[in-house]
Amino acid sequence: MYDEPNKLDPTTLGQRLTEARKDARITQADAAAYLGMSRPTFIGMEKGVRPASPDEIVKLAAFYGRSVHELVRPGAPFVELEPHMRAALDSESRDIEGMTASVRDLADLAGDYRELETILHAPLKIVHPPEITLPSRGSLVDFAEDVAQRERQRLQLGDGPLHDLRTILENAVGVRIFYGALPKGYSGMYAYVPDLGYCILINRNHLRSLRHIVSLAHEYGHFLCDRHRPGVDRTDDERKPRNEQFCDAFAMGLLMPRSSVRQYFHDTVESSGDFKVSNLVGLSSFYGVSLEAATRRLEALGLVSKGTWMNLKEQGFSPKEVREHLGIAEQNLPLPEALPQRYRLLAVSAFLQDLISEGQLSRFLRCDRLKARQIVDELSNQTVDWSDGADRRQAQLGFSLIA
């Protein structure tokens, strides 16, 4: 059975205590006073010169709002992710507390992922794509399209829909992808740390709107052009810098390759003589993206007029209403799990090999023990059902999208 240590290298522990204190915005003087020791003695503890006692660790964990496990887990200092992300939050003015909590969640998840790998001696295979430099001249959109096409070729994805981009990025690239809570107005966050690799947290509130797949592709674009600069993405930025413009264009180029989208559009027009809202919904479902993303992609490729999406909204067409009218379920694909599939399999494998206890399993899986047992049963006897269960009725909207 794997035992969570109550003793750790003083230097590593000191680093974790330091980062936890800074994240809690507590001064060394206040922390020293809380423990009833002098500030020089406390500084020596953070530097690893003076080892912290188990009682002191317990007290500081409570003072900083952390669990003891977070501070004493084995392996490399996982909290390295937090100072990286905090630097990206310094310029953020809205809901800093909520974003700080999300940063901590991402750091905790990445740290637990790494701990499971350590327990099972199963390091994540990381295959870094080449970094790119954004051009100072020429079309940034065309450049992003070319990068997306090259990345599809590198990963041998062809030009069809990517209905499981998360699995592709996790297995073929080694990206750690989680879905969790982010404050309203934020779609995702990302950071690269050498010891952990590239870590992404996508706003789970976007799962049912199909925005999550575009957010994931967008964050992957940051891995290509902003690898060593962590950041967060908002949903309401109006004036976007060049790197954000690149990631927007890259995401659509990756998810909806221009060659196959044009072929889909022209095949539809050839067979029916038109391209209607019903065809647009079909396009959206085919590529697994939102109706808005599909429409804006057609606009960007010059296949429908600029402003088509805004016109549809002005005429009362909402994605939900259109899908209901056509009898198509809002979500055709299974909702992604909060935790990566490989992460969950590692946790279950460690439990089945008696390397972790049931209590540790539930902690890793972020659920109670009953749910953890259910996950063990599910993953031990896993079956995959690709049917979408949608009750598709024959329906058509006659509104043409071709000007």
What pLDDT, on a 0 to 100 scale, did the predictor assign at position 90?
Answer: 56
Residues near 47 by Cβ (< 8 Å), separated by ≥ 6?
Answer: 11, 14
Prediction pTM value: 0.76
Q: What angle do CA 358, 361, 364 make, to 5 degrees?
A: 155
d(CA 271, CA 284): 19
What pLDDT, on a 0 to 100 scale, did the predictor assign at position 337?
Answer: 86
What pLDDT, on a 0 to 100 scale, did the predictor assign at position 385?
Answer: 35
Beta bridge partners of 188: 202, 233
What pLDDT, on a 0 to 100 scale, did the predictor assign at position 89?
Answer: 66
d(CA 201, CA 395): 38
Beta bridge partners of 203: 180
What pLDDT, on a 0 to 100 scale, did the predictor assign at position 294?
Answer: 92
Ranges of the chain with pLDDT below 70: 1-8, 74-95, 207-210, 237-238, 319-335, 381-403
What pLDDT, on a 0 to 100 scale, did the predictor assign at position 390?
Answer: 33
